[in-house]
Structure 1
Amino acid sequence: MKLLSKTLVPIVFFLFSSLGLSAQNEELEKQYVAPNLFESDTLIELSITTNLKELIKDTGKNSKYHQARLSYHQGDSIISMPVDLKTRGRYRKNKNICSFPPLRIKFNQASASYTLFHDQDKLKIVGHCRSNSPRFQQMVFQEYLIYKAYQILSPESFRVRLARVTYKDSANEMKPITEYVFFIEDFEKMAKRNGKIPIYNERIHQEHTMVFEMTRMAVFQFMVGNTDWGVPTLHNIKLIASTPTSRPVTIPYDFDWSSLVNAPYAVPNEKLDVDNIHQRLYRGYKRTPEELEFVFKEFRMKKDSIYSLYQNNDLLTEKEKKRVIDYFDEFYKIIDDPKQVQRFFIDNARQLKYK
């Protein structure tokens, strides 16, 4: 009996110790807050290894996911995880337009836990169109900053995170490619962050959305010189709402055909009365001067923050900064001049047509 007691004591002690450690680990896991990819503006340095040639060639309508490995430094450690990549988009998939297509990345939830990409599923990657091209690299920065500028105006917007990626070819047939890219927040997560739900219905008329938010968005598109969007077709527009039957809020994305990005392949829709992408066109519907002034006040209030976003950016060249600030100066002159407001936003605004 004494021998049995001596044997049981360490076993019981071990069991209680194990239970205590287990409870302690569970408590630590509860206390641990995984980093959120989009809550910082710090540049991410990472590498992605995959069969580059196969990935870049796969630009058909039914492009598939390709296995890859993403790695980055976290302190003194290297975080590495399996991911999947596929080409996306339509226009920039054309090899005559872009030698490197836009990508979508899919994460393995288990492997990504407690990493920078925790709780991410699939994300769009906006990157260079042509490798080793300073102009195309500046285009990436410009589009990234348009997203950041809209965030200054409204939290009901897509968050973005800038990264510098080194693409490595697992087949050793291509040299590594290092370029800047940015990740775009997932649509459903963006809606949830704003306490809303995603709306996927097409054919919702522009005037059946939240009026102030719609007007602000249309004025913003006018400010950055972008006409490549449409609400009823959900062309470069997403919708979120409080309930399935509430008026939705319009969320813009994909600004690469804007004047600020200044892509060489961008041309205005032939149905629009503009000669080039630098010619501004307000594509919102007619509003009263009082309604417009209510929106313009917000742009004036946020002017310094928007200008600082560009002026304090070290990645834009001085030439690009000047081009943007000059274009913004023109916008603010327009909204401060009643005659030009009448011309651009009222006389030439879209109007409802009743049969």
Structure 2
Amino acid sequence: MRSFFKIQVLFLILILISSRLYSQESGNEKLFEAPYLFGSDTLIELSITTNIKELIKDTGEKSKYHQARLSYQLGDSVVSMLVQLKTRGRFRKDRSICKFPPLRIKFNQASSSYTLFHGQDKLKMVGHCRNNSSRFQQMVFQEYLIYKAYQILTPESFNVRLARVTYKDSAKDVKNLEEYVFFIEDFEKMAKRNGKIPIYKDRIHQDNTMINKVTRLAVFQFMVGNTDWGVPTLHNIKIIAKTPTSRPVPVPYDFDWSSLVNAPYAVPNEILDIESIHERLYRGYKRTPEELEFVFKEFRMKKDAFYALYQNTDLLTEKEINRVIDYFDEFYEIINDPKLVEVYFIDGARQLKYK
């Protein structure tokens, strides 16, 4: 009798273990639910081993992928996988601008299975631009926090995950380099997370997108001091939609030319009537005061969350935090003053030109 109860207990334990190891997904059993890279804001500690000199010098239009090994600690074990790296971007690929260009990382599906990078294919990495520079490191944190700020407004935004990376040179010619980077969520996965599909068509006018959402986007860009974007040209903008014929939603990315990031290489486009990236310019189209007020209310509701994001961070120096708060204070003074709203958002708005 006692052995019978032992068998029952053992059977129940096996059921519990099985229920933890297996999950039902689309009717198929899947062993072990892998962690989701963007499911946490916890800092990731990584090491990446590759031929650093060959990688960072390969900045031509046809740059290739370079073999690398990515490793991170998991408890008492080390998780290690083969990956590939290549330089990406345009402006920051210039060696006179960035000594260390932005990277794209490509994962091997077999070796990354059941790791933190499970299910990822290719991801953008935003990094430090110049080695051992506190200013450029602050720029990485500032851009990362802008992505987090936009997430406060809407889930129709790119997820990001911060990591501290130790770069190790496989050729042993370069000393280990420790810098911060952040990963940006894949475009198609971001669209799917929001129940939408990616749209690759360009020449879509701002006012042919969801009006309230593109106005909110434009006001946000005004808040962080960024004029380096455009919907029709898909310049630092991605488009998602419910269906191919639905009104699309623009999603911003790449904020390194914003006032908050304060990059030394950032200057306004010549066609804009401003002299500095710190000078605010609304790049949205003309709206009525009522339409603007509808959007401003959301920014007022989220004000405490925006401020807390920066006031509670340990990433930025006190000087950088104060600079952001002062810039946000100016933004809220503007949207709370009807006269300034008229100057910046109505008289200063872009005008529609219909044929």
- TM bin, normalised by shorter chain, reads over 0.9
Paired residue secondary structure (1:178): strand
1: CA distance, partners of 2:66 / 2:255: 27
Amino acid at match of 1:286: K
Amino acid at match of 1:188: E
Amino acid at match of 2:102: P
In the other structure, the counterpart of 2:55 is 55
Amino acid at match of 1:238: K
In the other structure, the counterpart of 2:8 is none
Q: Which runs of 4+ in 1 moved over 2 A?
A: 24-32
Aligned partners of 2:46 and 2:164 also within 8 Å: yes
1: CA distance, partners of 2:30 / 2:59: 43
In the other structure, the counterpart of 1:348 is 348
Question: What's the offset of the Cα at 1:27?
Answer: 4.3
Aligned in 2, Cα 1:262/1:27: closer, same or farther, shift over 3 Å?
Answer: closer
Amino acid at match of 2:262: N
1: CA distance, partners of 2:64 / 2:250: 30
In the other structure, the counterpart of 1:216 is 216
In the other structure, the counterpart of 1:240 is 240
Report the TM-score when normalising by structure 1.
0.92
Q: Deviations over 1:48-88 (max 9, x none)?
A: 00000000100000000000000000111100000000000
In the other structure, the counterpart of 1:317 is 317
In the other structure, the counterpart of 1:200 is 200
Question: What's the offset of the Cα at 1:208?
Answer: 0.4
In the other structure, the counterpart of 1:283 is 283
2: CA distance, partners of 1:77 / 1:149: 35
2: CA distance, partners of 1:272 / 1:160: 30
In the other structure, the counterpart of 2:6 is none
In the other structure, the counterpart of 1:8 is none
Paired residue secondary structure (2:322): helix
2: CA distance, partners of 1:119 / 1:171: 30
Paired residue secondary structure (1:30): strand
Question: What's the offset of the Cα at 1:215?
Answer: 0.1
Amino acid at match of 1:233: T
In the other structure, the counterpart of 2:183 is 183
2: CA distance, partners of 1:61 / 1:31: 41
Query: Quick one: percent identity of the two aligned structures?
Result: 79
Aligned partners of 2:50 and 2:69 also within 8 Å: yes
2: CA distance, partners of 1:215 / 1:291: 9
- The number of equivalent residue pairs is 335
Q: Deviations over 1:287-313 (max 9, x none)?
A: 011100000000011110111000111
In the other structure, the counterpart of 2:102 is 102
Higher alpha-carbon deviation: 216-225 or 32-41: 32-41
Aligned in 2, Cα 1:207/1:79: closer, same or farther, shift over 3 Å?
Answer: same
Paired residue secondary structure (1:152): helix
Question: What's the offset of the Cα at 1:354?
Answer: 2.8
Aligned in 2, Cα 1:196/1:70: closer, same or farther, shift over 3 Å?
Answer: same
Aligned in 2, Cα 1:27/1:129: closer, same or farther, shift over 3 Å?
Answer: closer
Q: Deviations over 1:116-163 (max 9, x none)?
A: 000000000000010000000000000000000000000000000000
Q: Kindly name which structure, 1 or 2, has the bigger radius of gyration based on alpha carbons.
A: 1
Question: What's the offset of the Cα at 1:110?
Answer: 1.1
Amino acid at match of 2:197: I
Paired residue secondary structure (2:228): coil
Aligned partners of 2:22 and 2:33 also within 8 Å: no
Amino acid at match of 2:66: H
In the other structure, the counterpart of 2:75 is 75
Aligned in 2, Cα 1:353/1:171: closer, same or farther, shift over 3 Å?
Answer: same
2: CA distance, partners of 1:31 / 1:201: 38
Please state if 1:126 is matched with 2:126.
Answer: yes
Q: Deviations over 1:324-351 (max 9, x none)?
A: 0000000000000000000000011011
Please state if 1:266 is matched with 2:266.
Answer: yes
Q: Which runs of 5+ in 1 are unaligned?
A: 1-19
Amino acid at match of 1:46: L
Q: Deviations over 1:12-68 (max 9, x none)?
A: xxxxxxxx99xx698477362211000100000000000000001000000000000
Paired residue secondary structure (1:251): strand
Question: What's the offset of the Cα at 1:166?
Answer: 0.4
Amino acid at match of 1:109: Q
Paired residue secondary structure (2:291): helix
Amino acid at match of 1:71: S
In the other structure, the counterpart of 1:145 is 145
1: CA distance, partners of 2:149 / 2:194: 18
In the other structure, the counterpart of 1:9 is none
Aligned in 2, Cα 1:164/1:352: closer, same or farther, shift over 3 Å?
Answer: same
Paired residue secondary structure (1:243): coil
1: CA distance, partners of 2:62 / 2:247: 34
In the other structure, the counterpart of 2:10 is none
Q: Which runs of 5+ in 2 are unaligned?
A: 1-13, 24-28
Aligned in 2, Cα 1:51/1:31: closer, same or farther, shift over 3 Å?
Answer: closer
Report the TM-score when normalising by structure 2.
0.92
1: CA distance, partners of 2:190 / 2:291: 28
